[in-house]
């Protein structure tokens, strides 16, 4: 699809590939004067390899589902409690090689594919974001795991109790589709927020799912995260948790899976958005984290059973990483932060990591975001370089 457009796709607003400032970027922002659903903000790539035909003339090997919004408001006129949070709606970009993506024009306004629920009482009535997509080749069904925010008014955890916001409580849902384009069959929440004394009382968000691969053990794994608010920082921290299922729809919580990084470490603020793969006999978690100065990077944790986790001791300058940092101090498109990793295992044994990048070029007054790609050093998932770097 590189350089190609049609009635259903529009190329991203990229400079020529020879401009090294954009090395690693595979999807940039749409033209600012366009009506695209994600022209304000976008993030959260979920990349699926696919040989299905999208229409009579086109087929693509890669689908990138992601979330975003086109204005300063969420659905129902709600002002986001965090103006930098890019959730809102869900759409898709497509690619033949996974190295350059173009936006796919979905059936909803602005080309989106999925909107918040029309039911004001629903858990996803205000905004939503995709966090995983699975295709069942046997049944021909697409499963989208996502999270949504409700219309309930709540105070920000750890903040003043007299200031309340809508869309604050995040919970996961499941949407089904026959074509991976229209996800109208939706249910949720499929996992409840914890009670008042629980560590995940503030929300259950960004569900990532590992389905079983056959055999007698038909256990599904879900990781998610929440923001905890206790402690001395005044900001709190992010903590991931685990849940298991026998059918991918009904889940049982299993508790926290990764503690805070040591004081002063790159991940002292805890682990947020993460993606887990089964590599060989081990579970491997690629996770976004930050320190308390909001320097975001991507690190690594490992587990033998998917339940008990520890930071990987064999990568990066510190245990657990980071394995990918923002190119701070350099004039690159992702020199402010990197996050929301999603990793594909390739046929040759290597890996691709798709991630959110935010940056600001010298002289710019505002930052821009894009979706980037890093490639592993062969089968070594501890060592990465950006595509075209």
Structure tokens given for 105 = 């024009």
| End residue of a domain, out of 140, 155, 190 | 190
In 151-211, DSSP assigns E strands to 153-155, 164-166, 170-177, 185-187, 205-210
- The predicted structure's pLDDT at residue 213: 79
| pTM for the full predicted model | 0.93
Question: Does some domain include residue 198?
Answer: no
Q: Please give the residue range of the domain that contains residue 14.
A: 1-190
Pick from 314, 243, 301: nearest CA to 270: 301
Structure tokens given for 206 = 């960004």
Cα–Cα distance for residue pair 275/221, rounded to 1 Å: 11
Residue by residue, pLDDT tens for the chain (389 residues) are 222 333 344 444 444 446 889 999 999 999 988 999 999 999 999 999 975 545 544 556 899 999 999 999 999 999 999 999 999 999 999 999 999 999 999 999 999 999 999 999 999 999 999 999 999 877 889 999 999 999 999 988 777 888 899 999 999 999 999 999 999 899 999 999 999 999 999 999 999 999 987 655 789 999 999 998 866 556 688 999 999 999 999 999 999 999 889 999 999 999 999 999 999 999 999 999 999 888 999 999 999 999 999 999 999 898 899 999 999 999 999 999 999 999 999 999 999 999 999 999 988 888 889 999 999 999 999 999 999 98
Same domain flag for 372 and 248: yes
Cα–Cα distance for residue pair 139/149, rounded to 1 Å: 30
Question: Does some domain include residue 197?
Answer: no
Same domain flag for 130 and 246: no
- The predicted structure's pLDDT at residue 293: 87
Same domain flag for 266 and 183: no
How many structural domains are present in the chain? 2
Question: Does some domain include residue 207?
Answer: no
Question: Does some domain include residue 201?
Answer: no
Same domain flag for 151 and 283: no
| End residue of a domain, out of 175, 190, 205 | 190
> Which of 271-288 are b and which e, b meaning 16 or more Cβ less than 10 Å from the residue's Cβ?
bbbbbbbeeeeebbbbbb
CB 286 within 8 A of CB 295: no
Q: What is the CATH number of the domain that holds 225?
A: 2.115.10.20
Question: Does some domain include residue 312?
Answer: yes
Question: Does some domain include residue 200?
Answer: no
CB 343 within 8 A of CB 351: yes
Pick from 100, 95, 40: nearest CA to 67: 40
Same domain flag for 179 and 226: no
The Cα-based distances of 117 to 74, 75, 207 in angstroms read 12, 9, 18
To 5 degrees, how large is the angle CA 51–CA 44–CA 316? 105
Same domain flag for 185 and 220: no
Question: Does some domain include residue 202?
Answer: no
Question: Does some domain include residue 313?
Answer: yes
Structure tokens given for 129 = 């974001």
């Amino acid at each position: 699809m590189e350089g190609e457009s049609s009635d259903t796709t529009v190329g991203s607003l990229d400079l020529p590939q020879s401009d090294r400032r954009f090395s690693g970027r595979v999807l940039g922002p749409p033209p600012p004067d366009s009506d695209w659903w994600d022209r304000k903000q976008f993030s959260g790539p979920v990349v699926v390899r696919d040989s299905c035909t999208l229409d009579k003339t086109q087929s693509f090997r890669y689908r990138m589902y992601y979330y975003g919004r086109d204005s300063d408001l969420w659905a129902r006129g709600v002002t986001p409690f965090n103006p930098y949070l890019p959730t809102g709606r869900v759409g898709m970009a497509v690619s033949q090689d996974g190295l350059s993506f173009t936006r796919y024009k979905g059936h909803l306004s602005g080309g989106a594919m999925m909107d918040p629920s029309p039911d004001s009482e629903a858990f996803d009535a205000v905004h939503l974001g995709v966090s995983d997509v699975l295709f069942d080749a046997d049944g021909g069904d697409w499963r989208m795991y996502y999270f949504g925010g409700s219309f309930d008014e709540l105070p920000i955890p750890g903040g003043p109790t007299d200031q309340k916001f809508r869309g604050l409580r995040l919970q996961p849902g499941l949407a089904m589709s026959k074509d991976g384009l229209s996800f109208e069959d939706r249910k949720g929440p499929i996992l409840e927020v914890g009670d008042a004394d629980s560590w995940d009382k503030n929300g259950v968000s960004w569900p990532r799912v590992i389905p079983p691969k056959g055999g007698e053990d038909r256990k599904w794994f879900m990781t998610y995260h929440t923001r905890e608010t206790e402690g001395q920082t005044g900001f709190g921290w992010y903590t991931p948790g685990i849940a298991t299922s026998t059918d991918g729809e009904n889940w049982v919580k299993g508790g926290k899976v990764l503690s805070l990084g040591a004081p002063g470490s790159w991940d002292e603020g805890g682990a947020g958005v993460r993606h887990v793969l089964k590599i060989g006999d081990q579970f491997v978690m690629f996770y976004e984290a930050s320190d308390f100065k909001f320097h975001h990077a991507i690190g690594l944790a490992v587990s033998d059973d998917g339940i008990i986790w520890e930071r990987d001791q064999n990568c990066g300058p510190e245990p657990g990483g980071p394995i990918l940092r923002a190119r701070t101090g350099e004039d690159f498109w992702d020199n402010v932060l990197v996050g929301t990793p999603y990793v594909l295992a390739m046929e040759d044994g290597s890996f691709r990591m798709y991630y959110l990048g935010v940056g600001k070029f010298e002289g710019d007054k505002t930052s821009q975001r894009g979706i980037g790609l890093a490639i592993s050093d062969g089968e070594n998932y501890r060592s990465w370089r950006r595509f075209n770097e």
